[in-house]
Amino acid sequence: LQSKLTDIDKWGEINQLFENYNNKGQGNPSRIERDFVNPMRILLLSLPPDFSDDMRDAQFKFERAMRTVSKAVSGYRKDLPIEIDSSLIVKAENGWEDGRVALNEFFTLLNEATGLSGEMRLIPAPGPTQKEEYGRSSRRYFDLVKKTKLCQNRGGPALSQAWGQLMVSGYLQDSCGIPDLDDYFYQKA
């Protein structure tokens, strides 16, 4: 999201992250809600109130920040050449930074609540060394997402085994193909 904020041609893609698609009256959450806000809510319900109150405040800060980004990019589509006021770019970047700070606050409180210091890595401040400070490979992330979706399309780990036995291929591989998550989450670079 951060790299797309400065490229106005990508604002249509950012706008899609915040769109709710109404599925015949059964409202589907936006991608931001599904991937960030809903997991936060689930975690809050499983923690004692002394931790969850502060974490809920961080969640609300994150939601407000994402609403700021959403308002800044709303109305822009992928292939529509429209002149954009430069103040909107600053507003969107400020919203992203506020969201980063709120998410880091949530992660810090979650690490304290679970007793697992450093389990959830904080997102470093923007700058030339941000990716090195974060320490996770984007290539390995996209590989993990791709293999997870492939496994889901095959019906999950249980059904993918059956599909794997039915398919005839010249090489043997895990039909689900999801790599060991410890290798991903605890990678050094």
Q: What is the pLDDT of residue 115?
A: 83
Q: How far apart are CA 180 and CA 183, in angstroms?
A: 6
Length of the chain: 189
Q: Which of 25-29, 34-38, 56-60, 139-143 has the lowest mean pLDDT?
A: 25-29
For the record, the structure tokens of 110 come out as 């979650």
Q: Answer for the pair 123, 134: CB distance below 8 angstroms, yes or no.
A: yes
Q: Distances in Å between the alpha carbon of 141 and those of 9, 12, 145?
A: 24, 23, 6
Angle at 141 between CA 179 and CA 134, to 5 degrees: 120
30-67 tens-digit pLDDT: 888 888 889 999 989 988 888 888 999 999 999 999 99
pLDDT higher at 179 or 110:
110
pLDDT at 164 over 70: no
Determine the 3-state secondary structure of 26 from DSSP: strand
Q: What is the pLDDT of residue 63?
A: 93
Closest CA to 114 of 180, 176, 47, 165: 47
Tokens 């984007």 sit on residue = 138
Tell me the mean pLDDT in the region 152-180: 60
Cα torsion 98, 20, 40, 108 to 10°: value is -20
User: Average per-residue pLDDT in the chain?
Assistant: 76
Tell me the mean pLDDT in the region 101-118: 87
DSSP string computed for 88-157: HHHHHHHHHHHHHHHHHHHHHHHHHHHT-TTSSPPPPPSSTTHHHHH---HHHHHHHHHHHHHHHHTTHH
Q: What is the pLDDT of residue 79?
A: 60
pLDDT at 94 over 80: yes
